[in-house]
Structure 1
Amino acid sequence: MAEVKIAVEPRSEFGKGAARRIRRESKVPGVVYGHGGDPIHVTLPGHDLMMALKASNVLLAVELEGKSQLVIPKAVQRDALKGFIEHVDLLLVRSGEKVQVEIPVLTEGELAPGGFLLEHLLNTLPVETEATHIPESVTVSIAGLEAGATITAKDIPLPQGTTLDVEDDVVVIQVVSAQAEEAPAESAESESAEG
């Protein structure tokens, strides 16, 4: 995982009015916390932050209190309609430190022939991993699976140094039969015949 350098400025104004002023300047209010210190309120460049957050579990290098520090995004609040970032919580991390994150689960291969559907019960997998080596994703094979097959958390291969942060037997993916669509059509015909 690559580090992304991003500029931060300390902020001393708080509240809705201050946050609106910050956003009008195409910036994002945020807070940096962790390692037992007091939270540090910051302002980040909106476009740079949006581009950095396109990668899942990105590691950000920020200049705080005169020294370079590593942070990971823990909570990102977005506008429900427009999708722009309204606020971000950043967690201080150190090289070698373990963190809890969720990584995307990807699939490879084709299901067995027969009209089966793949159902993702979890799109991301909660794991504990080293802060500077967070995997971008994990991949699991679905080749040849048929209806009734399940893939649990323990079935997903994890990179070295990464452990599950969820019960082993949690179902992540399951294969189901495609539902026949004739049943609703038949009931609609019978209703029209009665009317």
Structure 2
Amino acid sequence: MAEIKLSAEQRTEFGKGAARRIRRDDKIPAVLYGHGTDPIHVTLPGHDTMLALKTPNALLAIDLGSDNHLAIPKQVQRDPLKGFIEHVDLLIVKRGEKVTVDVAITVVGEPEAGVLLVTENATVALEVEATHIPSEIEVSVEGLQVGAQVLASDLDLPRGAALAVEEDLLILNLTHAPTAAEVEAELEDAEAEAGIEHDQPEAPAEEQAAEPESTES
């Protein structure tokens, strides 16, 4: 994975007020930590950081003037409503060092007709060199039939990568795709169990008019 260079500035202001002022200047508060060093509080350029973090497990080359660090994002805090980045935790790494990261699973191909593909785990934890983190792990489901499964041990890992999870972790499960009639029947059963009753439709006005009025004897 290519390094993404970001110029950072050391910061000395902390707290919510300081963070708001930093974000108003189109910058992002962040902290660098790891390798037994004291946390380094910095500000990062807002637009460049946002673009960099679109890459999963981005390898960042942080330029602090006289000091430089390689780092990967460990936690990205976003505003729950507007989605902008509020704060970033960065883990300092060294070349040749191995780290544990979650890597996305990408499905390619199509299973047989009538097969429902269920993703049990969308990512898998791997132990890899910090400078060789894969962006994704591809899994082909081409022609697979009902009952097939893809386990962590079935994944084709890049050289130097190792599983950081149990080998029998279920990644993909291929089951029978329900028909429309089966879906409707399951819905009716669920509504019946929940005690949901639907009002019967009223008869058309013409039918109501045709009904004879009752007379008293």
State TM-score, norm by structure 1: 0.92
In structure 1, C-alpha distance between the alignment counterparts of 2:48 and 2:89, rounded to whole Å: 16
Counterpart of 2:37 in 1: which secondary structure? Answer: coil
The Cα of 1:31 is off from its aligned counterpart by: 0.3
Partner of 1:154 in structure 2?
153
Counterpart of 1:30 in 2: which secondary structure? Answer: strand
Q: Is the 8 A contact 2:7 2:64 kept in 1?
A: no
- Which structure 2 residue ranges, 5 or more long, are not aligned? 192-196, 203-217
Pair 1:50-2:53 in alignment: no
Highest CA radius of gyration, 1 or 2?
2
Q: Is the 8 A contact 2:7 2:63 kept in 1?
A: yes
The Cα of 1:98 is off from its aligned counterpart by: 0.3
Partner of 1:182 in structure 2?
184
Partner of 2:24 in structure 1?
24
How has the CA–CA distance of structure 1 residues 75 and 193 changed in structure 2, closer, same or farther, with 3 Å as cutoff? same
Counterpart of 2:118 in 1: which secondary structure? Answer: strand
- The correspondence of residues 1-195 of structure 1 with structure 2, limited to 5 A, is 1-64=1-64, 66-114=66-114, 116-179=115-178, 180-183=182-185, 191-192=198-199
In structure 2, C-alpha distance between the alignment counterparts of 1:132 and 1:27, rounded to whole Å: 26
What is the number of equivalent residue pairs in this alignment? 194
- Which structure 1 residue ranges, 5 or more long, are not aligned? none
In structure 2, C-alpha distance between the alignment counterparts of 1:127 and 1:167, rounded to whole Å: 11
In structure 2, C-alpha distance between the alignment counterparts of 1:94 and 1:186, rounded to whole Å: 58
State TM-score, norm by structure 2: 0.83
- Report the aligned-residue RMSD: 2.1
Identity %: 53
Residue type of the alignment partner of 1:161: G
In structure 1, C-alpha distance between the alignment counterparts of 2:22 and 2:152, rounded to whole Å: 42
Residue type of the alignment partner of 2:50: M
In structure 2, C-alpha distance between the alignment counterparts of 1:146 and 1:123, rounded to whole Å: 20
Residue type of the alignment partner of 1:139: E
In structure 1, C-alpha distance between the alignment counterparts of 2:188 and 2:81, rounded to whole Å: 39
Counterpart of 1:38 in 2: which secondary structure? Answer: strand
In structure 2, C-alpha distance between the alignment counterparts of 1:99 and 1:169, rounded to whole Å: 22
Greater shift after overlay, 105-114 or 36-45? 105-114
In structure 2, C-alpha distance between the alignment counterparts of 1:18 and 1:49, rounded to whole Å: 19
Residue type of the alignment partner of 1:132: T
The Cα of 1:154 is off from its aligned counterpart by: 0.6
Deviations 1:123-150 (A, max 9, x none): 1111000000111111111112222221
